[in-house]
Structure 1
Amino acid sequence: MARWRPSVPALRPRARTGPDARARVLLDADVPEALAVCAGDPVASTLAAARLVVAQRAGLHAAGGQAWGFPAVGPLEAVCWAGANLVPVVPRTLDASRADAAVTAFAELARHAGRRSSSVVGERDAVLALWDLLAPHWPSPREIRANQPSLAIDREPDVAPDPGVRRSVPAEVPIVLPACVAMFTEEVGYSPVEGGGRAYEERVRSLVLAGRSFVRTAGEREGAPHVVFKAELGAVTPLVAQVQGVWVDPRYRGQGLAAPGMAAVVRLAREAHGDGAAGHRPPVVSLYVNDYNARALAAYRRVGFEQVGTYATVLF
């Protein structure tokens, strides 16, 4: 694929090295301000904001990563989550020079820290500009997905929800896990349980326990139930519930399960995290999808999802 050409320069010594041109590692006391930056574009920043929500409740140590803020002194203009994923949040309201400075500052921290994340992911312009600066210093990625439509819906779905789609229960982890492994392997290109996969299994179990795993099953009459449709809410904030891991068993594809299944996920997510939950407004339900996945895009659009931005992912 053609190499991305961002507006930021390559990493090199710059004349401006003061605190207004650097980023810093944030502390617990900075989390509310970092969340306020994310709130400027809740869908684009969901992956970072979801970890910051955990940090606000239990501290950054419990959130499993670091939060970086730009600039090093003064009010925050941009943030970056550095954990299992590296997620830059550079508001589009920043002027070009400040946006470039923020990306360059985050790249400097990431370069010195070394690659610890399995991906760089988030709003496309920030991700690809950040990667262009890191590429000379980090290992080559397995794949760069530079055009992933970011879709969202903030109302009832346009198609009738599948009544068979429901939250999975802890006793179903043994059948949910193989479906999750199959989805991940198909989507990313390798199995997440190679070499043990304990962490991945715990992730699946935690989503089930949190009520963020949705399934449709079949085969109960034969005594061997299996998952034929599944999805998870992989990242949740007070404003957005991001759907991840959508999968239909290959044996059941072409039978019209995807759109009604996603409609059910939208309704269940809005009910669980909206008016029925402490009086909160129903969240926007979002997802991002590879641009070449025409079948999935068509199904999501039938449900009522509309494109609100574009993600990119650099996979290692």
Structure 2
Amino acid sequence: MSDTIIRLARPADTPTIVRFNVALAEESEGLRLDPQTVEAGVRRMFSDPALGRYFMAVSSTGERLGQLMITTEWSDWRNCMIWWLQSVYTAPEHRGSGVFRALCEHVLGEAGETECRVRLYVERDNSRAIAAYRALGFDHCGYDVMEHGA
């Protein structure tokens, strides 16, 4: 999509981000998220930029097409920041039009300027997402994600 603009998301994007995140969880993992909890999480990130930031893909007319969130981790082993891609979503009607690639390439470009590494986690059965990430140069890095607590 040649008229796709990538910009930092703004608080006014909150309803769209909530809608996208709820849809993402349902589509990728079969999870039903509570929209109020998601909204509180999105608003908290906007109020505390140290938590991360959202990028929004928009059309030249301002239509919101997709999103991507970055959180950061410091690596003392590598003496660099690691950016984690999360909440990556393209509206169904815009899939296959380059929105996902535009979002990722924008963020990868910014990361390259700051010498960050970029990582992500992906649902292991989401073969479409895995193929898309591999096409952008991502590969398994030898770690498994583990979690404790609810």
TM bin, normalised by shorter chain, reads: 0.7 to 0.9
**SS at 2:142's partner residue?**
strand
Counterpart secondary structure, 2:32: coil
Measure the CA separation in 2 of the matches of 1:292 and 1:192. Answer: 20
**Paired AA for residue 240 in structure 1:** I
Q: Note if contact 2:56-2:66 (Cα within 8 Å) is conserved in structure 1.
A: yes
Contact 2:83 2:111 (C-alpha < 8 Å) held by counterparts? yes
Change (3 A) 1:236 1:205: farther
Task: Name the structure 2 match of 1:229.
Answer: 66
Query: Is the contact between residue 259 and residue 302 of structure 1 (CA under 8 Å) also seen in structure 2?
Result: no
- 2:71 is aligned with what amino acid? G
Please, which runs of 5 or more residues in structure 2 have no aligned partner? 75-79
Query: What is the CA deviation profile of residues 68-112 of structure 1, one whole-angstrom value per residue up to 9, with x for unaligned ones?
Result: xxxxxxxxxxxxxxxxxxxxxxxxxxxxxxxxxxxxxxxxxxxxx
1:178 is aligned to 19
Letter in 2 for 1:227: R
Partner in structure 2 of residue 200 of structure 1:
38
In 2, Cα distance between the equivalents of 1:269 and 1:187? 26
Residues 1-316 of structure 1 mapped to structure 2, 5 A cutoff: 164-193=5-34, 197=36, 199-209=37-47, 210=49, 212-218=53-59, 220=61, 225-237=62-74, 239-271=81-113, 274=114, 282-312=115-145
Q: Tell me the CA shift for residue 241 of structure 1.
A: 1.0
TM-score, normalised by the number of residues in structure 1: 0.38
In structure 2, relative to structure 1, the CA distance for the partners of 1:270 and 1:173 (3 Å cut) is farther
Aligned mates of 2:131, 2:102 — CA distance in 1: 13
Structure 1 consecutive aligned stretches of length 4 or more whose deviation exceeds 6 Å: none
- The one-letter code sitting in structure 1 at the alignment partner of 2:117 is V
**For the pair shown, which has the larger CA radius of gyration, 1 or 2?**
1
User: Equivalent pairs: percent with the same residue?
Assistant: 27
Structure 2 CA distance, aligned partners of 1:187 and 1:256? Answer: 19
Change over 3 Å in CA distance of 1:259–1:219 after alignment to 2: closer
Query: Distance in 1 between the 2:137 and 2:60 partners?
Result: 30
Structure 1: which 5+ runs fail to align? Answer: 1-161, 275-281
Mark the CA change 1:190 to 1:289 in structure 2 (over 3 Å): closer, same or farther.
closer
Q: 1:236 to 1:212 in 2, by over 3 A?
A: farther
C-alpha displacement at 1:219, in angstroms? 7.8
* DSSP-derived class of the 1:228 partner: strand
Q: Please state whether the residue corresponding to 1:266 is helix, strand or coil.
A: helix
What's the C-alpha RMSD, in Å, of the aligned pairs?
2.9
Q: What's the counterpart of residue 159 of structure 1?
A: none
The Cα of 1:287 is off from its aligned counterpart by 0.5
Alpha carbons 2:4, 2:99 under 8 Å: kept? no
Aligned residues, how many? 139
Deviation at 1:182, TM superposition (A): 1.5
What is the deviation of 1:304?
2.0
